[in-house]
Each structure stands twice: as C-alpha cells, then as structure tokens.
Amino acid sequence: MGPYRPVARLGAGGMGEVFLARDDQQRAVAVKVIRPELAASKDFRIRFRREVDAARAVSGRYTATVVDADPEGPVPWLATAHILGPTLADAVEEYGPLPPQSVLALGAGLAEALIAVHSAGLVHRDLKPSNVLLSPEGPRVIDFGIVRATDGYELTLSGVLLGSPRYMCPEHATGAQMGPEGDVFCLGSVLAFAATGNAPFDGASAATLLYKVVHGTPDLTGVPYPLDTIIGLCLDKSPTARPTPDRLSAACAPGGADTLNWDGWLPEPVAASAARQAADLMHLELEFESRDDVIEWEPARATSGFKVAGGVRTDPRPAVRHAVTDRPSPRRVVFPEERTPSSQPRKTPEPGTHRAQRPTLPRPSRRTVLAAAALGTVTLGSGVAALLGGPKNRPRSAPKPAGPAPKPLWVYRGDPLVEAPAVFYKGTALLKSQSGALFCLGLADGTRPRWTYRGISQSPTPPLLASDGVIALGTGSTVLGVDPVTGTERFSLDFGTDFRFDTLLGGLGNKVAIAGLRFNREDTPDGSQGAATSTNVVLNTDLRARLADVIPLSKEDIGLDLKPVVVTGHFIYMDGLHRLTARGTTSRADVLWRQPTKSDSDARSAPVVLGKNVFAVDSELIAVDVQSGALRWRAKEEKGGFASVAAAAGTVYCTTRNPHGVQAFDAVDGTRRWFRETPPLDLGNALVAGDGMVFVTAARNRDGFYAIDAQKGELLWNFTDGQDAGINDWQLSCDREGPLIAQHFDKVYALPMPRP
C-alpha cells in the first residue's frame, strides 16, 4: 500500500478492509483498502475518489486526518491517522450506555465535527456509532464513504440505498435531497444510542425501519434531561426545525467543544480499553519485527488475542488487567436541578402560577465547568436555552403580565398527547394520544372522556371535521371516519400498499387533503416487482364518492412540511421559493396564482383565511384576495420579520422576531393597531386568536404561555404548570363556544375565556 506495510487487520466492511500499518518512519496509520472486485468498477472508483477528496477537504480536531491516498492505483487505498480508542458501537456493546456528562461531551465534539464537514461544503450522510471513535482526547468522526457535495451532484447507483437505515434521516430514507440538516438528525440518533444503548428507531425489517424513521415517533425512553430535549430537537422530521451544529455544540457544552479539557471525559472502563489498545500496539510493533504475515487485532477487550491468517494462536503474554474500584458509577450522576425520576423529585408550582425567572448570572469559567462536570454538578440551562432558540440574554426589563392567570375550569390527565391542537364539535373537544387513540372531552367537564376510539395514526396531525364526521388517519394508508357523538366507526378507506399517509392537511365539505408517500415499483426482467422508490404525494379525496385526485406539486415543493389552508377549489400554501401559492384541488389543475414575499428565513408558517382574503407572513405580512391572488396590502417588519399569523374579528395578529412580541393589524387596510413586546417566545409554535384574547407560547417549555388582550394589546397573564416536557410543546386552541384548551404532554387544561 504505497509506503505503508500492514501490521494488523483492524476490520472489514462493504467497501474493503482497514489495516493498521506503518511507514519507514515508524508512523502508525489506518489504511482503508478497496476490495479488488470493486476497484474494477468505474462507478465505484468515482465514489472512492470522491471519498478521498472529501476526507482531504475536511480538517478539524474531531475528524480523522488524511495522511496519504492513492485512489488511482491498481489497489486504491486511503491512509488516515491511527486513533486509539474503541468505536462508540463497540464501547456501548461492551460496557453499556455512556453516562450523561460523557454523552453531552460526545455531542459537543460531534457537532464540531459536523461544522468542519459542512464548512467544506460537504454532507457526511452516514454518521453512525461505528463511524465514531472514542479517543481519550475526544471523539473522532471517520469514514466519508458516502459523503457528497452540497452542490447537488449525486452519483446514482441503481437499486442501492447507501447508508445505515437505523441512523438515517427521513429525507435520506425517502430519497429526497439531503442537506446538512440531515447530519444533525443522524447525530441525534447517535446520541440516543450512546445514552441508552438503543437506536431511537427500530424494526424487524429494513422497510419497517425506514417507515418508522420517516413517520414514527423516536423512542427516547431512559434518556435523561437535558439530553432528551437536545436529542428530540435533532430528531425533528422537518429539516428546518432542527438546530444548527453550532447551537447544538453550545447546548452540549457552553462555550463549545474546543474549550473543553477532555481528560477524563470517558467512563473508566472505556478509557481503560484505549489504554489497552496502546499497550497492544506496542506489542504489535515488537511482534511485527519477527513476522511476515498480518495479525488480526481485537483491541477493545479485557484480554488480548491475535488471530493469524490460517489459524488462531494464543497470545503468550499475560493479559493486561486493570483494577476496578468500588467508587460510584458515573452513570449514577444526576443534574442537581433536573433530577431523574429515581432521584429526589422537583417541586412543581401550582398550575396557573407564574414561575419567577432566574437572575442572569455570569458564565462560569471553563475550568469551573469542567470541575463541576467531573463531580456531576454541572448545570446546563444556558446551553439548552441557546439550542431552543431563545435570546442569549433576557431583556433587563422583560414585560410582566398585568395579573395572575385564571384557575382551570377542569384538568384532564391521561396518556401522552400528540402535538396537535384540539378540534371542536358542538360543545366537545377532540384530541389524539400518542398511544393511537382519538378521544372526546366535554367542554363543560372534560375530566373523563365521553368516548375513545383506538387504532389511529400517531402522526402529529389533528383530526378533521368533514363529511359530517371526524376524519383521522389510520395506520399505513387508511383513512377513518368516526361518529363525533358516539365514537363509533363509520367507514375505513384503505388506499393500498402503494401509499403511506402521515398528515391530514385540511378538509372542506366531503373532501380532505392528505399528504404522504407514494411508492413506485419497477418490474424486473423476470416479471417480478423490484425495489420501490417513494415520492411525496398530496391527495384531494372525496370521501363520499371514494375518489382521490393527486394535487401536483412543483419540484421546489417536494419534501416541504406543507402547512396549507384549504378553501373551496383552492389549496393555498407557502411554497419552496417563499411564494404564497394557490393550486387547484384536482389532478388537472395547475397553479391558480402566486404572490411572492420577501424572505430572510428558511421557516414557513401556515397562512390563514379571514373573509375573502388570505394572510401570510415572512419578513413581511401580505393580504391577498383568495380568488384572484391580487395583493390587497402589505406591512413590513423592519427588524426581524414575522414568525406566524392568526386572524379573528377583523384583526390580523403576527408574532415578531426582534424583539419578540405580537403586532395587530386591521384586516381591511393593514393599518397597524398595536404592538406588545413579550418575554421570549417559541416562534416555531403558532399563535392562537380568539374573540377577545391572543395566546402565544413561551420560549421555554416550562414557562407555559401568555394571554394578550386582543383590543388593547395588554399583556394579561401567564399560565404554566411548571413542567418541562422536552419536545412536547404546548398546544393551544379555542372556539367561540367554550374555554381555551391548553394541552401539555399528558394534561389538558380548560381555561375560561372572557367574551367581548
């Protein structure tokens, strides 16, 4: 292999073998050698050449440095610095999950590695536990075998799905374009494995596994705070909702990974395995002097054994042993303010009370943080706050509510709820649980369900009222109709194995719009069906006629988290080029009209309709005639744009980004009525407008939500139950006949609504 002579085989994979080797200067390197039959393939050489170029382009402390390569030789190879330490996969298999502080350090290091990869204009696409080395000096990302440039160039291999399904992101699994955000999703899966020993998605077959990656809810059982919040945000199905690597690094390690002292970051058994590798390497150097064959190295075990081609021999030297003390396991370390369920519980404020904000404290020194981490007493609030998107510092005089929150009329507690607002029907609220149940609560007294229907999809989409019933998605490609009074099933429509549905987009009359995947199976030469490829599809379904039309989408709309509003003959949404677009609702219809908006963000919010106009926000608020698409008026927000929009009683309300707050406009001519600055808000969550009040959720989950007077813009009150439910955000909804329904993880609160 050029100037390198193999000493031992470290392992083998689909592309070839990896050897520990050394050159004439006695430098130890890891050399990846392509299998001869693959080297004969022109396409495979192109792939390997791209891997070499990618690995050379990436530089950083948390990746393996390329030493040398020969992609054009008779036997192509790539040499990188040899890094002592087991892979994350081997370490967890041998010693169990890592303690929380080790996983946080791991997350910081891997986030920094992704920053280096993405800065080179690349996407890794195969971040998984076996591609992460646990060095005593910090983690290292290896193997750029399926990395690609972000310019869109893609080498196509027919019938081959490159990557590891258990750690794929949804866009990779569906064949959609994968950007840097996909690597963040993969990192979340890797951290979940490090913390629990299990991937967040699992399945008996590859098809089942990929379906769960695209549509399923990640299993984060046993992941402690704040890791559950961090990982949950990484695993968001929407790429634009995931945190960037720099914010992820700050959340895991305030100040970033580069300022950490990595001494002692690994639990003792894992660190000891790296020490054994160093001792084994020294022994191999001596062994190498007297041998001509290649030794099979098994480094990460309590004893050392070497396999020789043609047989197995026993290592004559004694096994290296390390004393194990009775000191407390680092896995038992808990965070002082956010303890695990097995430790002392936190005191929860009474629902409806406002939790006082903690004073802003100076950031501790790096040495202080590291010393505290070693003792298990590090606090991570500032880092998680950075990840959640809140401002780095609260305003010195944050607005305060005028009075206390009202007491709930009633509280319901049951299974964890789907993150979707309630739907109202004649004095009742219809909700979904994560256990696959649709249930009905009375608005006068919702402490017990009036009925429960089981067997619906767990997708985060609310049910719809259409065709005189409640419409919900079942499993796979099933659409269900349920009687809203009794909860009995009226019908079940199965669209067959060519479809998988995940979202109800809207309904009107007897029709509902459904989003999901459509599988196209190609016939093979022998007449059988080959592998299936999937594309995004939107169906407008007539429930009575049992007919469905495919609503066509443009290329820039494929893969978007569509948030449309559906009115008669119109399917209106913010498209991939940030244009407010109206399409017809039949397969023969095309774009009815488009209205461009000024955009300074990748986020897209749902438009709303009031009267004959539709309202949409980006860096500006626009009012457009529903039928013609004519622009009625526009309002600019100079400092940071708008985040979401709602409309009620002749008024349009928008959340603002800088500063956080709510603005109100006259729906007819766009006249600005008032602006109310608020404490930091969760701008990814839509605001809710009733007849007399506007409601917005706080940036921190545990801070609940705020009520604002719809006429005067006065900040009225803040309601919270004091719980941090991780990725389970507050969901708010109201109608003209009953109270405000506020959902939080496994609870539903009904709060009184004053009527004008």
- Cβ count near 370 (within 10 Å): 20
Q: Report the distance separating Cα 210 and Cα 207, nearest Å.
A: 5
Per annotation, catalytic residue among 90, 126, 183, 502: 126
Backbone φ and ψ for 719, nearest 5 degrees, come out as -110, 135
Given a contact cutoff of 8 angstroms between Cβ atoms, the answer to whether 376 and 330 are in contact is: yes
Cα gap 634→645, rounded to integer Å: 13
Could you report the average pLDDT of every consecutive run of 10 residues in the chain (756 residues)? 82 74 81 80 75 74 84 84 88 93 94 85 85 92 60 36 76 83 95 95 80 89 89 91 86 77 89 80 60 49 32 28 26 26 38 38 31 32 44 54 93 90 95 90 96 86 89 89 95 86 85 83 52 69 87 78 87 89 80 86 84 92 95 85 92 93 95 94 89 91 93 95 77 89 94 78
DSSP E strands in 220-331: the ranges are: 295-297, 306-308, 311-313
Strand 148-149 to 464-466 pairing = unpaired
Q: Which of 382, 403, 392, 268 is nearest to 331 (CA)?
A: 268
**Spatial separation of the C-alpha atoms in residues 183 and 110, rounded to whole Å:** 10
* 3 state SS of 506: strand
Architecture (CATH level 2) of domain 5-268: Orthogonal Bundle (1.10)
**Domain extent listing, the chain:** 5-268, 269-313, 390-414+597-756, 420-568
What does the block give as tokens for 403? 């009075």
Compute the distance between CA of residue 696 and CA of residue 715 in angstroms, rounded to an integer. 11
Question: 431: which strand partners?
Answer: 439
Question: Pairing between strand 608-610 and 715-719?
Answer: unpaired
Q: At what angle do helices 381-388 and 245-252 cross, to 10 degrees?
A: 160
For residue 159 the two structure tokens come to 């019938």
Which three-class secondary structure state does DSSP give residue 410? Answer: strand
Give the C-alpha separation, 20 to 4, whole Å.
Answer: 9
Strands (E), 320-402: none
The per-type count for the chain, helices as H runs and strands as E runs, is: 12, 44
Give the residue from 175, 167, 247 showing the smallest Cα distance to 532.
175
> Could you tell me which residues come within 8 angstroms of residue 703 by beta carbon, excluding any fewer than 6 positions away?
355, 679, 718, 720
- H or E segment to which residue 620 belongs: strand 620-625
- Looking at residue 488, what is its pLDDT? 95
Distance of CA 607 to the CA centre of its chain: 24
Q: Please tell me the class of the 390-414+597-756 domain.
A: mainly beta
Q: With CA atoms as reference, report the closest residue to 416 among 729, 732, 751, 750.
A: 729
Residue 126 annotated to the active site:
yes
Token pair belonging to 145: 């075998």
Q: What is the pLDDT of residue 284?
A: 64
CA distance 313 to 315: 6
* Residue 165 structure tokens: 């399904």
| Positive or negative torsion for Cα 732, 733, 734, 739 | negative
**Nearest residue to 702 (alpha-carbon basis) of 235, 385, 310, 298:** 385
Cα-Cα-Cα-Cα dihedral sign, residues 618, 621, 624, 629: negative
Amino acid at 7: V
In the block, tokens 């009742």 appear at 428
Q: Which two tokens stand for residue 187?
A: 């990192």
Residue 722 Rama label (left phi>0; alpha psi -120 to 50; beta): left
Q: What is the 3-state secondary structure (H, E, C) of 450-501?
A: CEEEECCCCCCCCCEEECCEEEEECCCCEEEEECCCCCCEEEEEECCCCEEE
**Fold observed for domain 420-568:** Thrombin, subunit H (2.40.10)
| Distance, CA of 32 to CA of 317 (rounded, Å) | 29
What's the rounded Cα separation, in Å, for the pair 539 and 27?
Answer: 61
User: How many CB atoms sit inside 10 A of residue 85's CB?
Assistant: 26
Spatial separation of the C-alpha atoms in residues 460 and 436, rounded to whole Å? 11
Query: Which run of H or E residues covers position 432?
Result: strand 428-432
| Cβ-count burial 607-623 (b if 16+ within 10 Å, e if not) | bbbbeebbbbbbbbbbb
Return left, alpha or beta for 426; rule: phi > 0 is left, psi -120 to 50 is alpha, else beta: left
CB neighbours of residue 739 within 10 Å: 21
Task: Give me 720's structure tokens.
Answer: 């919270």
Question: What is the DSSP annotation of 665-720?
Answer: EETTT--EEEEEE-S-B-TTS--EE-SSEEEEEBSSGGG-EEEEETTT--EEEEE-
The token duo for 556 is 């820039």
Determine if the pTM surpasses 0.85: no
